[in-house]
Amino acid sequence: SFVKARAQAEESYCKSLVRVAQHAPPPMEGTLGEAMSAISADVTNKAEQARVLGANIMTEVYEPLQALKTRIAAQQKALQGRVTKIQRDLRASEDAYRKALNQYDRAYRELAHATATCRGIGAPSPYLDV
């Protein structure tokens, strides 16, 4: 990820600065020596800052983001399981509804046919007066 790459870049920058500081010329006399010592100290200081920044990015940003990602993935998996169960229950309910509707339609047609037959032959039926 971007955050991890940034932390790794800071670590690499730190190592490079440490190498530069280690290749500093030997101490010299005069203002040039003072300037070289100041530059070496500054490079060493920047290397330490880069190391701390890289470590802070890892511990304060990357690791909490990874923990959040893991929690969200677990919650998503649980929710997906619930959604799948609800969809399965919905399909079962729809099937039961269709079955009950078909039974009702069949019973209604049989009753209508029986009523028509009864009217046709003149037989009394308790359902004819409904």
Per the model's pLDDT, the better-predicted residue between 24 and 50 turns out to be: 50
Res. 123 pLDDT band, cuts 50 70 90: low
CB burial of 34-50 (b: ≥16 within 10 Å; e: otherwise) equals eeeeeebeebbebbeeb
Residue 97 and residue 93: Cα distance in Å, rounded?
6
User: Chain-wide mean pLDDT for the chain?
Assistant: 88
Whether 38 shows a pLDDT value over 60: the answer reads yes
Per the model's pLDDT, the better-predicted residue between 38 and 96 turns out to be: 96
